Chain A
Amino acid sequence: MFFILITGLLLGGTYALIAMGLNLQYGVSRIMNLANGEMLVAGGFAAFWVYTAGQVSPIAALLVVAPVAFVVNWLIYRIMLRPLVKRAKSRGALEVDSILATFGLSFAMVGIMSWLFGGGYFNYSYLAQRVDIFGSSYGQNRVVAFAIASLIAAGLWLWLSYTRAGLRMRAVAVSPDSARLVGIDVPAVSALAFGLGGAVTATGGALISMFFTLDASVGVLFTMKALIIVIMGGVGDIRGTIVAALILGIAETFVARVIDPGLTLAAAYVLFLGVLLFRPQGLFGKKPT
C-alpha cells in the first residue's frame, strides 16, 4: 500500500509538470492545445536522441530542450494561433477553432515523428539502479525525474506568484479585457505563456522518457491525462493542478498494481466522471454565480 502511494506520488510529480504546461496554455493564452502530448513526446525524443547519439545525460539535455521548445511554441502561437484569436467572435468559437487547429498540428507532428523515428517503441536505460525509500526500492530515474519536476514546478509557482511578469500573466488569466485596460500587452503575454507552457511540457517529456517507453503516437494519452488534471484542478489554478496530478498518479498506480495495468485510462476516467458530476469548477474552484 505504502509502495503504491510513493510510486503514485513519483509519477504524479511528473504529471503535475506536464499539466502545468497545459494549464498555462489554456488558462492564460485561452488555447485548448490538443497537441500538448505530441510536444511531450518530441521532448522525450530529443532526450532519447542526445543520450543514445552523444551520451549526453537527459538532464543536461533539458538545457537545450526547454529553450528550443519555448521558441517553437512561441512561433506556433504567433503564426498559427494568433490569427484564430483575432478572428474569433466569441470564446466558444475560439475553442472550436483552436481544438481543430491543434488536432491538425498533433496529427502532423505524429506523422512527422513516425517518419523521422519510425513507428516503434523507444526507451533507453539511464540511472536504472534501485534506490531505497522506507524499506522499498524504487527506480533511481523515477526519483530523479520527480525531484527535477518538483524543482521546476516550484520555481514556476514562485515566479507566477511573486514577480511582476508572473502577475501580468495571472491578470491575463483572470480577464484579458481588463488586463488590456491596465496597460498589459495581452498578445505578448499570451504568446509568452504559450511558449512557456510548451517548454514546460517538453521538459516533462524529457523527464518521463527516462523511465517510460514512448512511441510516436502515444502523445494523445498524455494529452488526455493532462486535460483531466487541468479540469480536475481548475483552469488557471496551480495548486489545484498539483493536487489533481498527485491524485491521478496515485489512482493510476493503484489500478495498475491491484486490478490490471491495461486499465489506467479507466482510472483517469473515473476521476474525470466524479469531477464532471460533482465539481465541474475544479477541486478548489468556486461555484460560478
Chain B
Amino acid sequence: MSTREIRNLILSALAFGVVALLPFYDTGYILSIATTMAMFTVLATSWALFSGPTHYISLATAAFFGLGTFVTGYGFQTMPYWSLPLIAAVLGAGLAGLVGMVTLRLSGVYFVIFTLGLAELVRQLVTWVQNRTGQRGMYVLTSITESHIYWQLLGLAALVFLVGWLIGRSRLGFALRIIGNDETVAKHSGINTALAKVLLFMVSGAAAAAVGAMLAPRYIYIEPSTAFASILSFQVVIMALLGGTGRLWGPLAGVIPFTLLWEFISRHAPNQTLLLLGLAFLLIVYVLPGGMVGLQARLKRRFGQGGH
C-alpha cells in the first residue's frame, strides 16, 4: 500500500464518519434526502463495479431491490432483523448468478434485453403466487427509524467501496478491465471471461438486494408493483453514468446532483419526471460521454496537472 492509498483510505474513513453524524443534526427532510442518496450511492456504485469495466448495461437493479424488500417483508417477524440483509444478499447473488450464466456468455445486447424485463417478470411471478395464495401486499411495521436505515446504508456503502477497491487491485479487476477493452484478447490470454463477469454481476446483485432489505421498513406497506418498479433501474443507470464509471467515486458524483434534481422535479412538476429521465439519458450520450469523471479528466488535460 502506497502512502497515497493510505491517505485516501484515511480521508474516506473521515468523510464517512462526518456523514454518519447527520441524524444528530436533523431527522426530518434533510435526513430523508440523505437516506435516498445513501441508497442510490450503494446501488449506483455496485452497478458501476460490474457495468463500468465490462460495458454491459444492467437494468436488473429493480429486480434485486424488490427481492430484498420481499425478504424483509416475509422474514421480519420470524427472523432476527440483522440476518435479513444477509439473506437478501445471498438470494440476490443467486438470482444474478442464474441470469448471468444464461446471458453473459453472449453479446451485451442479449444481456440488456433480458435485464430490461427482469423486474417486470419477477413482479408478474410474485403477483401470481400471491393471487394463488390469496395474499395481497404486506405491512412491515418495525421499530426501525429513518436514522437506523441511514446508518445501515452508510455501512453498506463503506463495504461496497471497500470491495470495489479490493477488486480493482485484484486479478479479477485486472481481468475485467481487459475484458472491457477487448473480450477476444481477454479470452486468448486465458481469462475465463464468462466466470469473471458472472462473479462481478453477483456482487452487484447482492448489494442491490441488501439495499432493498434495509429499505423495506421505510415503505411500511409492500406490494409487488411498488417493490419492483422498474424506474429504479433506470435511475441507477443514469446516476452511475452521469458520475462516470471510470473511478470508484464516480457514481457518487452523479448521485448527489441527480437526487437533488429528481427531488425538485417530483415536488414541483411530478408529471415531468419521465421527461427528465429521458433528457438525462440524452445529456449523458451527447454531452457528457464519460460522465463527471470524464469531464474532470478532460479539464485536467486542458489545464495541465494543476486543474484537480
A contact set with B: CB distance below 8 Å: 32, 34, 83-84, 92, 95-97, 99-101, 103-112, 114-115, 119, 217, 220-221, 223-224, 227-228, 231, 260, 262-266, 268-269, 272-273, 276-277, 280
Give the contact stretch, choosing among B32-40, B170-178, B211-219, B268-276.
B268-276
A262 adjacent to B124 (CB under 8 Å): yes
B285 adjacent to A104 (CB under 8 Å): yes
B124 adjacent to A263 (CB under 8 Å): yes
Pick 28 A–B contacts, CB within 8 A, sort by A. A34-B116, A92-B55, A92-B107, A96-B55, A100-B57, A100-B281, A103-B281, A104-B285, A105-B278, A105-B282, A108-B279, A110-B278, A111-B272, A112-B275, A115-B272, A217-B274, A227-B113, A260-B128, A262-B128, A262-B131, A264-B124, A265-B117, A265-B120, A265-B124, A273-B102, A276-B106, A280-B106, A280-B110
B274 adjacent to A95 (CB under 8 Å): no
- Which of A84, A99, A106, A269 makes the CB contact (< 8 A) with B121? A269
- Which of B110, B116, B241, B281 makes the CB contact (< 8 A) with A107? B281
B272 adjacent to A266 (CB under 8 Å): no
A269 adjacent to B117 (CB under 8 Å): yes
B109 / chain A contacts, CB cutoff of 8 Å: 32, 95, 99
Cα of A95 to Cα of B57 in the assembled complex, Å: 10
- Which of B114, B234, B277, B281 makes the CB contact (< 8 A) with A101? B281
- Which of B57, B114, B274, B278 makes the CB contact (< 8 A) with A272? B114
B127 at interface (Cβ–Cβ under 8 A)?
Answer: yes
B contact set with A: CB distance below 8 Å: 55, 57, 102-103, 106-110, 112-114, 116-117, 120-121, 124-125, 127-128, 131, 230, 234, 241, 271-282, 284-286
B284 adjacent to A100 (CB under 8 Å): yes
Cα of A217 to Cα of B230 in the assembled complex, Å: 12
B133 CB to closest chain A CB (Å) equals 13
A sample of 18 more A-B contacts (CB under 8 A), given A106-B278, A107-B281, is A92-B55, A95-B108, A96-B108, A100-B281, A103-B278, A107-B277, A108-B275, A108-B279, A112-B275, A115-B271, A115-B272, A221-B120, A224-B113, A224-B117, A227-B116, A263-B128, A269-B117, A276-B110
A99 adjacent to B114 (CB under 8 Å): no
Smallest CB-CB separation from B102: which chain A residue?
A276
Smallest CB-CB separation from B284: which chain A residue?
A100
